[in-house]
């Protein structure tokens, strides 16, 4: 008898919870419908961007948002293509100076990206290689002194370029020092990509 009594109570609670959930959902749907009608009366249009963020703007503002989003997607696609090309690149030999790495890497990139140029100046920034709005700074051979100069360049380059890639050849710093440097770089400049070439 005791068990028979408990079972109906549980069933009743479950039914009440489901009814409450339905009421809440119905209320949410009604509020959303009212909100959308109010926005439409104001002449606003709904747009959900690629990050699933909702925008209510005028039709011309929505067109501008769509244009910017398409440009961002195109730029990111180019960025990933460049990263992939750099990862595929293997120097013909070990060089003793940065300039040789720069010239050879630029030749490799130019075969894939026609707009690849060496040392394009913007403000006081002059990255080693530039492709569109993507700056590439390289070091090689890379010792502790070379690592120290990169943060300064990052601060300046990110003012003039949408993306920055750091390419390191022949890293000769102690593993622990390099690891700490890399962690610090990622915290300070989260958008900067570091590509270590052995």
- Report which of residues 105 and 3 the model is more confident about: 105
Q: Is 179 found in the same domain as 108?
A: yes
The pTM assigned to this predicted structure is 0.68
The arithmetic mean of pLDDT across residues 80-87, rounded, is 95
Q: Is 133 found in the same domain as 70?
A: no
pLDDT per residue as tens digits for the range 55-83: 999 999 999 999 999 988 887 889 999 99
Structure tokens at 52: 């699933």
Residue 139 included in any domain: yes
- Give the range of the structural domain holding residue 129, as residue numbers without chain letter: 91-197
Residue 146 near residue 153, CB atoms below 8 Å: no
Residue 81 included in any domain: no
Q: Is 193 found in the same domain as 142?
A: yes
Residue 83 included in any domain: no
CA distances 24 to 34, 101, 169, Å, are 15, 63, 59
The arithmetic mean of pLDDT across residues 155-165, rounded, is 93
Structure tokens at 154: 């990052």
What is the distance between the alpha carbons of residues 35 and 29, in angstroms, rounded to a whole number? 10
* Confidence at 9, pLDDT banded by 50, 70, 90: confident
Residue 121 included in any domain: yes
Q: Is 46 found in the same domain as 101?
A: no
Element (H, E) at 118: strand 117-118
pLDDT at 6: 55
Q: Is 95 found in the same domain as 184?
A: yes
What is the distance between the alpha carbons of residues 21 and 15, in angstroms, rounded to a whole number? 10
As a whole number, the mean pLDDT across the chain is: 91
Q: Is 100 found in the same domain as 69?
A: no
Residue 113 included in any domain: yes
pLDDT at 8: 67
Domain boundary among 74, 108, 137: 74
The arithmetic mean of pLDDT across residues 151-157, rounded, is 92
Q: Is 182 found in the same domain as 152?
A: yes
Domain boundary among 74, 105, 138: 74
Looking at the structure of the chain, the number of domains it has is 2
pLDDT per residue as tens digits for the range 111-134: 999 999 998 888 888 999 999 999
Residue 118 near residue 111, CB atoms below 8 Å: no
């Amino acid at each position: 008898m005791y068990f028979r009594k408990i079972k109906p109570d549980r069933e009743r609670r479950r039914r009440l919870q489901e009814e409450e959930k339905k009421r809440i959902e119905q209320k949410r749907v009604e509020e959303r419908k009212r909100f959308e009608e109010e926005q439409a009366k104001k002449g606003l249009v709904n747009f959900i961007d690629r990050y699933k963020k909702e925008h209510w703007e005028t039709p011309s503002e929505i067109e501008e948002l769509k244009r910017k989003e398409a440009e961002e997607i195109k730029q990111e696609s180019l960025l990933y293509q460049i990263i992939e090309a750099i990862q595929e690149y293997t120097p013909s030999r070990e060089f003793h100076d940065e300039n040789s790495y720069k010239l050879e890497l630029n030749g490799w990139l130019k075969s894939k990206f026609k707009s690849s140029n060496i040392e394009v100046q913007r403000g006081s920034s002059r990255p080693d290689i530039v492709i569109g709005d993507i700056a590439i700074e390289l070091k090689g051979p890379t010792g502790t002194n070379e690592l120290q100069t990169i943060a300064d360049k990052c601060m300046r380059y990110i003012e003039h370029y949408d993306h920055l890639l750091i390419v390191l050849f022949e890293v000769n710093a102690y593993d622990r020092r390099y690891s700490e440097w890399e962690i610090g770089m990622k915290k300070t400049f989260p958008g900067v990509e570091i590509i270590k070439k052995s």
